[in-house]
Amino acid sequence: MKHSLFITFLLIAFFLLAQFIGLGIIYKYIDQVRSAEEGETVFKDLPVGERPPLKEETSFLPIFLTLVIGTVLLLFIIKRNLVWIWKIWFLMAVVISLTIALGIFVNPIFAFIAALIFGLWKIFKPNFIIHNITELFIYGGLAAIFVPLFNLLSVSLLLIGIALYDAYAVWKSKHMITLAKSQAQSKVFAGFLLPYKIFKAKPKPSMRTKPVKVRTAVLGGGDIGFPLIFAGVIMKEMGLWQSLIIPLFASLGLIYLLWKGDEGKFYPAMPFIGAGCFLGLGLVWLLTLF
């Protein structure tokens, strides 16, 4: 088992909470009146500008390419020790995402002010409470941008591509491990961070000659955001209750990984979470037949 039972439970709980909060944000962005009139899902405008003008059928290609380019840039920043650039870049992403997430519930100006305060707090005075609370809402804001850009086929292709890339980046090139360690050291990490010492949970002992102490349990931002986007597209294409099934099955994939994983080792989560997403989609299709 990769982590203690308690830490594993918390990771799964945070993952599911982020998924359901995100789906709630996506649902609020659906224009129910126009959707009923036009016979298809129509989304409201964002409080920070327009969405990228991408075609649903091919949107996975530029988004996947952007992800790869972003990874290369981040590796360059880390290699050159330009942490301040990464902090500014991350701050902008956090503020935009939180503004979108909160802006559907409150006045966009108030949402921006709150997003800026929490973003600055998160990056320049970090603590695990503020970090994880903001992470719960960030991915809902990102999903509100990207869900309208996909149809079921294109988001499925994106999920498969991300799963394969994640496996390569962790098991083969290992550059994703470098990114995760560097982000954790700079205290600017996209994803959940659960320090063992906060919860007074002892790391699971290792059987190796030189034990590796796991002091912080992490779950990367992509492992949270991509299954949420997939579930959001299910909501867009099929309906609300259908989308609620996806996080449950995605969490089963994560549970399997955390249960079977060894303490101290790095694993790509997206192949397991992605498999859970597709199993959930299969169940949705079966249920729609009856």
DSSP 200-248: T-PPPPP-SSSPPP--EEEEEHHHHHHHHHHHHHHHHHT-HHHHHHHHH
45 falls within a domain: no
44 falls within a domain: no
| Contact status, residue 22 vs residue 140, Cβ threshold 8 Å | yes
Residue 96 has pLDDT above 80, yes or no: yes
282 falls within a domain: yes
pLDDT reported for residue 203:
53
Classify the phi-psi angles of 264: left when phi > 0, otherwise alpha if psi is within -120 to 50, otherwise beta. Answer: left
Which residues in 181-206 are b (16+ Cβ under 10 Å) and which e? ebbeebbbbbbbbbebeeeebebbee
**In the numeric block, which tokens belong to residue 81?**
């020790």
47 falls within a domain: no
User: What are the distances in angstroms from CA 274 to CA 95, 245, 247, 254, 270?
Assistant: 28, 14, 10, 9, 5
88 falls within a domain: yes
- Total structural domains within the chain: 1
Span 12-41, pLDDT tens digits? 999 999 999 999 999 999 999 999 999 999
40 falls within a domain: no
271 falls within a domain: yes
| Residue 78: strand pairing partners | none
Choice between 28 and 262, residue whose per-residue pLDDT is larger: 28
pTM above 0.85, yes or no: yes
The amino acid present at 242, given as its one-letter code, is Q
Given pLDDT bands bounded at 50, 70 and 90, which one contains residue 148? Answer: very high
pLDDT reported for residue 187:
77
d(CA 288, CA 34): 25
| Contact status, residue 161 vs residue 270, Cβ threshold 8 Å | no
Range of the domain at 84: 5-35+54-288
219 falls within a domain: yes
pLDDT reported for residue 98:
98
Residue 207 has pLDDT above 50, yes or no: no
Classify the phi-psi angles of 174: left when phi > 0, otherwise alpha if psi is within -120 to 50, otherwise beta. Answer: left
| Contact status, residue 273 vs residue 253, Cβ threshold 8 Å | yes
d(CA 194, CA 6): 11
